[in-house]
Amino acid sequence: MADRLVCRDCHRVLEVDDGEQCPSCGSTSMTEDWAGYVVVAHPEDSRIAEEMGISEPGRYALKVR
């Protein structure tokens, strides 16, 4: 998935053409060094979302370096 970046702060998986700022948290700290991801559709009902601190639906990296 080399065409994707991940926000180091909120772990949101972004397309390269999304820009240089995370639309979720506003961070400009992005990386291409990440592994695995989870898709959260209903964060209010998800234990994984709760553990990861996710409050918005979307794709999130499991490990960010």
pLDDT tens string 10-34: 999 998 765 678 988 999 999 999 9
The DSSP letter of residue 5 is E
Per the annotation, binding residues for Zn(2+) are 7, 10, 22, 25
What is the C-alpha separation between 18 and 46, in angstroms, rounded? 26
pTM: 0.85
pLDDT over 60 (residue 49): yes
Domain boundaries defined on the chain: 4-64
**pLDDT value at residue 6:** 94
Can you read off the two tokens belonging to residue 64? 């960010």
Confidence (pLDDT) at 13: 94
Using CA atoms, how far residue 53 sits from 3, 19, 58, in Å, is 25, 23, 13
Binding residues: 7, 10, 22, 25
What sign does the CA torsion over 47, 31, 14, 3 have?
Answer: negative
Q: Is 53 exposed, middle or buried (0-12, 13-18, 19+ CB in 10 A)?
A: exposed
Of residues 2 and 7, the one with the higher pLDDT is: 7
Q: Is CATH 2.20.28.90 the classification given to domain 4-64?
A: yes
